[in-house]
Structure 1
Amino acid sequence: MIPAMSPATARTASVAALRLGRVVSMGAVAALLLIAGVWASWSTAPYVLLTKGRERGTVEVTACAREACSGPYTPRTPGSTARARVEIDSVAVRKGHAYDVVVKPGTDQVLRSGPAGILYAWAPLGGSLLLASVVVAGGLRRTRAAWVLAGSGVALLTAAFLAL
């Protein structure tokens, strides 16, 4: 303790330092969660959002395994080539149905396009919004901001669920 400080002043300073440490550390955790959600979403989002110049078409699902379904790809854009077999995630696709898709460049993997594909691509961000809301409410004690984050996450995940 500094000799010129009274015990009450020292206690106030230590409480302020602890509060600042909590805010900085919890803010960093919340930011890390949100960055991780965007990072996870960005692995598929650019292909679905920025479709200009990409191979677009339809896939008719003929076979489904545990994690992926497959079927023939029929192109719709000029320069796109037909493929006998492409793979699509098995989330909300059914055997015998056709889906609009975008081909991931350099692969035989396709991603759903349109509103359902966009919402599915951003679903990891919805989960991270929900997780960050808990950190913001408990660690930062910002309940209004936490409710906004949680509401955004629930809305995004619900829209993705309904669209698929």
Structure 2
Amino acid sequence: MPATAASSRLVSRRASVAALRFGRFAAMGAVAVVILIAGVWASWRTAPYVMLTKGRERGTIEVARCGDDTCWGRYTPISQGSSGRDRVVIEKTVAVRKGRTYTVVVKPGSDEVVRSGPAGILYAWVPFGGALLLASVVVAGGLGRTRAGWVMAGSGVVLLTAAFVTI
């Protein structure tokens, strides 16, 4: 067998191995990015109301009753320009209990409120914390970047733990 035929097979094998590595890296990178974007997207549903409160109606809700998915009660305004309401609705979570009072922000154009303050901010970003945990497995296992995976997992755990402690 001529030396050029063997060397051309060796070059072709190296090229195919490099192409497969790049394909795996690109695919796993895309999966990790999609997971993180989904986490931010899910968190951004309530985060702007809680984090960017300037000009929004702020007040407190005293939870009077709870249904299957929501709780409701009387809204007492704190900020100027906000008016009291007999009934506003808040999402029923582990952190919302009948008879308790919570500081809230009113979603514009509705009678729906979300928790504000540190507890509200951390709770709004819980989906992103879960996405960090999930993406860390993809980054560490699929991309082979173990340190980056551990950093992402640690960040997700810190965020979820902080949210649990404050709520």
Give the TM-score normalised by the residue count of structure 1.
Answer: 0.96
Q: Secondary structure at the match of 1:34?
A: helix
Aligned length: 163
Partner of 1:67: 69
Partner of 1:48: 50
Counterpart check, 1:122 vs 2:125 = yes
Deviations 1:96-142 (A, max 9, x none): 11000000001110000000000000001001001100110111010
Deviations 1:27-76 (A, max 9, x none): 01101111111111111101000101000000000001121111000001
Q: State the 4+ residue runs in structure 1 displaced beyond 4 angstroms.
A: none
Give 1:153's aligned amino acid. Answer: G
**Within 5 Å, which residues of 2 pair with 1:6-17?**
6-17=8-19
How far has the Cα of 1:82 moved from its partner?
0.8
**Within 5 Å, which residues of 2 pair with 1:14-163?**
14-91=16-93, 92-163=95-166
Gaps of 5+ in 1: none
Q: Tell me how far apart the structure 1 counterparts of residues 161 and 7 of structure 2 sit (CA, whole Å).
A: 55
Q: Tell me how far apart the structure 2 counterparts of residues 101 and 75 of structure 1 sit (CA, whole Å).
A: 9
Give the TM-score normalised by the residue count of structure 2.
Answer: 0.94
If you compute each CA radius of gyration, which structure gives the higher value, 1 or 2?
A: 2
Superposed CA RMSD:
1.4
How far has the Cα of 1:24 moved from its partner?
0.7
Q: Tell me how far apart the structure 2 counterparts of residues 162 and 149 of structure 1 sit (CA, whole Å).
A: 20
Give 2:100's aligned amino acid. Answer: H
Q: Secondary structure at the match of 2:55?
A: coil
Identity across aligned pairs (percent)?
69
